[in-house]
Amino acid sequence: MSEFLQLLTPAGTRVAPDPGAGWYGDPVARPAADPATAHHAVEQLAAHAAELSPSDLRVAYRHMVLTRAFDREATSLQRQGELGLWVPSLGQEAAQVGSAMATPATDMVYPSYREHGVAQVRGLDLRDIIPVFRGTRHGGWDPRAYNFHIYTFVIGAHTLHAVGHAMALQQDRRRGLEGPAAVTVYFGDGATSQGDVNEALVFASSAQVPVLFLLQNNHWAISVPTTTQSRVPLANRADGFGVPHLRVDGNDLIASYAATRYALTRMAADGGPFLIEFVTYRMGAHTTSDDPTRYRSREEEDAWRARDPIARLRTLLTDEGEADEDFLAAVDAEAHELGASVREFTRANAAGEFPEVFDNVYATPNLQVDHERATWDAYLARGEA
Amino acid sequence: MNAPVVAPERKGPATAIHPGGPAPVPTSPLPMAQAINAGLRAAMGRDETVILMGEDIGRLGGVFRVTDGLQAEFGEDRVRDTPLAESGIVGTAIGMALAGYRPVVEIQFDGFIFPAFDQITTQLAKLHYRSGGDVEVPVVIRVPYGGDIGAIEHHSESPEALFAHTAGLRVVSPSSSADAFTMIQQAIASPDPVLFLEPKARYWSRGELPATVDLTPDGVVAGLSHARTVRSGTDVTLAGYGPTVATLLKAAAAAAEDGVSAEVIDLRSISPLDVDAVAASVRRTGRLVVAHEAPTYFGPGAELAARVSEECFYALEAPVLRVGGFHTPYPANRHEHDYLPNLDRILDAVGRSLDH
């Protein structure tokens, strides 16, 4: 594994980053940017890490534990036949929660389909994700209410939407309108091979728009390892697009937060894109239809289990005296309640009457939809006659 | 933690009038390419959230000059030369639309739309539906399409059936300068995504522009949905759209010399199809010939024939006949005259219909 930025070790102890390591890349010197060196970045990153108060770390811990409980419950519900499919976020909680906590609530976030931890931080009722996987509707929430777009299942397609959204922010500013500073977009190691992701990097760099590419390298695109996608560390690909980048330990909540803050701060100064690769691990299956034992070893999974993102944060909080047994127990109890609530919600969640499929195909009246809806009504009427 | 959690709320997209006000509508007959240009200019002057994006549309004014002069008038921010990547063009347009803009993108030629096929069919067409109506994606995709210009391969295709088969898209094609001017403005005003197919062989045909354009919500829906009878007749109905309408009118004129009264319907919209308008005509004429450059196999004419047979089976005196492209790749251009629904092939179909 190539070098990454780490601020919290798997053992739960804080460490200073090594500026000589290869986790920092800046292919373009831009006048608006600060002196672009890893040494300078280290100072900034340390400052951002220090922003996280003990209270913030407890908030992060709670988000991560609730996300994991939700994810475990949904996985279980799929096994019981209550969901058609589930995409586990197990193991990726630090990358998701850390980056999301660093993102202003007003910035639009474009998730892929595994970002349950980001949803948690954005304030969604996590149960709103359930209908998507239960098959009662396609989207589960109003993106505008949370600045959190609906999930995209076509790999990488949404990265272009995020770039376009950032182009709109840039145009807003040119028109003198106030607005959020940036857009963030989540995608995975497999997605980096998609044409759309490469085009997104081209367009973002060409237009110099404030979009933050949040790449979760969880090492497996279903059964295909990251090494099949790329012969170089994924973050290094950003070099070719002229996009500065960081490679961080994605199981490290503090590094994930600090890197995202660093990137957004820099983007606010120079207006251009940035990419962060979070080196993490999909500890569960790709989806509940997948069987990881067919393509990866128990030893590999065990090695990553020892790098668990929640365990190391809990160790830190405990060792630094910032979390006592009462706090940990209260979070566990809340997680337990969440699980029960998700179960109850899921079992009661149902689709509407069939003709709702004709709703919202278009935003305006449409001759063909109206015709087909009428044929359905006539069919029902014949059945009742 | 210092991360800002409250930023100033973003103001909604302003609908500001261009400082000079909308350009006056030209009064002399204009080629269709210039009519579209005038329509784009009017829409941009009316609403500063209208942004044009595409390859070579800025300084060059587009390979067909449809956007000629617009970058000089509205600036590089609003008439954007993009990197050369069609999926990127459509995908970023979707993002801009989600953020409150009304992007109008140009795909340089019909045969080059396919790199964007995924963005159009799995993303653009479905986002309103997938979000349960929470978001709208008012993107217009302009595509010079069709043959008869002696081009090399990939520059003469008619892929409309592929998009008409995609729920969530409107697919329209004007046949005249007047409709081109009107419909491009209605497409931009539409909250639904619109594939706007420009018959490139008709870019140079002149016609007068209307003095006013109905941009009310009802007017926009009607303008993007309804067919128009462009010649009245009693013996046979000829239906087509875009580049074929002019050929149908020639066929009707030729048929009249033989004492046959042909009614010509310009469908204007391919999705949705205005079946009621065609069926009303067929109830009077009893005969229907549909023509389009797209292959007839699984083409718009097949759908129209099926629907007409459902709606007015007993009014039909003859089977619905189709004239169009064949189930081959678009041929080398020395063959395109025979491949396309030309005057002779349409008159042949009219004769076969009347023989029944």
User: What total of structural domains would you count in chain B?
Assistant: 2
CATH number at residue B248: 3.40.50.920
User: What total of structural domains would you count in chain A?
Assistant: 2
Pick from B7, B167, B190: which is nearest to A364 by CB? Answer: B190
| End position of a domain, from candidates B223, B243, B262 | B223
Give, as one character, the DSSP assignment of residue B5: -
- A345 and A367 both lie in a single domain: no
A214, part of any domain = yes
Say whether B155 is catalytic: yes
**Phi-psi group of A245: left, alpha or beta (phi > 0 → left; psi -120 to 50 → alpha; rest → beta):** beta
Selection from B165, B168, B212 nearest residue B186 by Cα = B212
- B209 and B268 both lie in a single domain: no
The backbone torsions φ and ψ at residue B85, rounded to the nearest 5 degrees and listed phi first, read: -160, 110
Segments forming the whole domain that contains residue A378: 354-385
Segments forming the whole domain that contains residue B332: 228-355
- B218 and B308 both lie in a single domain: no
- B212 and B245 both lie in a single domain: no
- A107 and A153 both lie in a single domain: yes
Count of Cβ atoms closer than 10 Å to residue A178 Cβ:
11
Residue-wise pLDDT tens digits, B217-230: 999 999 999 999 99
Beta bridge partners of A382: none
- A293 and A381 both lie in a single domain: no
Distance CA A29, CA A21 (A): 19
- B218 and B297 both lie in a single domain: no
Residue B259 has pLDDT above 50, yes or no: yes
Contacts of B11 in chain A (CB under 8 A): 177-179
Pick from A149, A157, A179: which is nearest to B91 by CB? Answer: A157
A43, part of any domain = yes
Nearest residue in chain B measured CA to CA from A368: B272
Q: pLDDT value at position A27?
A: 82
- A218 and A285 both lie in a single domain: yes
- A282 and A370 both lie in a single domain: no
Distance CA B207, CA B177 (A): 5
Q: What is the dihedral of CA B120, B121, B123, B128, to 10 degrees?
A: 100
The backbone torsions φ and ψ at residue A261, rounded to the nearest 5 degrees and listed phi first, read: -65, -40
Pick from B5, B14, B92: which is nearest to A167 by CB? Answer: B92
ipTM of the complex: 0.95
- Residues 6 or more apart whose CB falls under 8 angstroms from that of B114 comprise B86, B159
- B281 and B219 both lie in a single domain: no
> How far apart are the CA of A118 and the nearest CA of chain B, in angstroms?
15
CATH number at residue B196: 3.40.50.970
- B125 and B233 both lie in a single domain: no
B142, part of any domain = yes
Q: pLDDT value at position B261?
A: 98
B336, part of any domain = yes
B17, part of any domain = no
- A136 and A275 both lie in a single domain: yes
Pick B13 or A19 by higher pLDDT: A19
Contacts of A157 in chain B (CB under 8 A): 91, 118-119, 122-123
Residue B12 has pLDDT above 50, yes or no: no
**Phi-psi group of A67: left, alpha or beta (phi > 0 → left; psi -120 to 50 → alpha; rest → beta):** alpha
- B237 and B349 both lie in a single domain: yes
A2, part of any domain = no
B8, part of any domain = no
Q: pLDDT value at position A29?
A: 57
CATH number at residue A94: 3.40.50.970
Contacts of B100 in chain A (CB under 8 A): 168
- pLDDT-based confidence at residue B212 (cuts at 50, 70, 90): very high
Asked whether B39 and B104 are in contact (CB, 8 A), the reply is no
Q: pLDDT value at position A28?
A: 72
- A135 and A241 both lie in a single domain: yes
Q: pLDDT value at position A51?
A: 97
Contacts of B170 in chain A (CB under 8 A): 362, 366
- A365 and A264 both lie in a single domain: no
Task: Output b/e per residue, B241-267; b: 16+ Cβ within 10 A.
Answer: bbbbbbbbbebbebbeeeebebbbbbb
Selection from B169, B185, B106, B165 nearest residue B137 by Cα = B169
Pick the catalytic residue from B155, B327, B335, B356: B155
- A62 and A198 both lie in a single domain: yes
Distance CA A111, CA A104 (A): 15
- Residues of chain A under the 50 pLDDT cut: 1, 31-34
Q: pLDDT value at position B2?
A: 43
* Cβ–Cβ gap B87/A196 under 8 Å: yes
* Cβ–Cβ gap B118/A51 under 8 Å: no
- A379 and A340 both lie in a single domain: no
Residue-wise pLDDT tens digits, B279-312: 999 999 999 999 999 999 999 999 999 999 999 9
- B180 and B60 both lie in a single domain: yes
- B185 and B218 both lie in a single domain: yes
B6, part of any domain = no
B12, part of any domain = no
Residue-wise pLDDT tens digits, A251-263: 999 999 999 999 9
B5, part of any domain = no
- pLDDT-based confidence at residue B23 (cuts at 50, 70, 90): low
Asked whether B195 and B104 are in contact (CB, 8 A), the reply is no
- pLDDT-based confidence at residue B18 (cuts at 50, 70, 90): very low
Q: pLDDT value at position A242?
A: 95
Q: pLDDT value at position B17?
A: 38
